[in-house]
Amino acid sequence: MYSGQYGSFTLLLPVCFVIAILFMDLLEFYIHFIEWSFFTVLNVGQYLIGMCSRYKTYMTSVVMGNLQQACRGGVPGTFPLVRSYVAVRVPQGLVGLEDGVVEDQPFWPLVYYCLRCGDVAAALFCAKQAG
C-alpha cells in the first residue's frame, strides 16, 4: 500500500526539480530584464536631455545670426529664446496658426519649441499668456 505512494513520489520528484530549475532560470531572466530596462530608461532619459540641450544651442545660434529680425532684447531664459527663434523661422500669416498670439508670435509654434527645448515651465507660461 505504501510502496505505491512512494513510487509515485519518486516519479514526481525529478519533475519537481525540473520545474524548480526552470522557475529559477525564468526568475533570473526576469531580474536581468528588469535591470536592463531600468538602465535603458536611464539611457533614453540622458539621450533626451542631450538632444534638448543641443536643439537649444542650435536655436541660440540661429537667433544670434539674425539679431535684427529676432529682437531678443537680451532677456535670459527659454521663452525669450523661443519667441526670438519663432520670429526668425516661422513666417507670419501661415494658415492654421490663427489660434492665438503670445507677444506677437503664433501660440502653437511657441509651445512646440518650448517643449522641444525640454522646458515645460516655458510652455505653461505661453499657455497662461494666451489665456
Please check the confidence at residue 99 and state whether its pLDDT lies above 80: no
Q: Closest Cα partner for 72 from 109, 101, 62?
A: 62
- In single-letter form, the type of residue at position 6 comes to Y
What is the percent of the chain with per-residue pLDDT over 90, rounded to a whole number?
Answer: 15
Backbone dihedral angles phi then psi of residue 49, each to the nearest 5 degrees: -60, -45
Higher-confidence residue: 93 or 111? 111
Higher-confidence residue: 93 or 52? 52
Could you tell me how many helices (H) and strands (E) the chain has, helices first?
5, 2
What is the percent of the chain with per-residue pLDDT over 70, rounded to a whole number?
Answer: 72
Residue linked to cell 516661422: 90
Higher-confidence residue: 51 or 18? 51
Predicted TM-score (pTM) above 0.95: no
Please check the confidence at residue 1 and state whether its pLDDT lies above 50: no
Mean of the pLDDT values across residues 91-120? Answer: 83
Mean of the pLDDT values across residues 90-97? Answer: 74
Q: What pLDDT, on the 0 to 100 scale, is given for residue 56? A: 92
The contacts of residue 44 (CB under 8 Å, 6+ apart) are none
The contacts of residue 11 (CB under 8 Å, 6+ apart) are none
Mean of the pLDDT values across residues 113-123? Answer: 90
The contacts of residue 114 (CB under 8 Å, 6+ apart) are 78, 79, 82, 120, 122, 123, 125, 126
Q: Quick check: helix, strand or coil at residue 75?
A: coil
Residue ranges of the domains in the chain? Answer: 2-130
- In single-letter form, the type of residue at position 127 comes to A
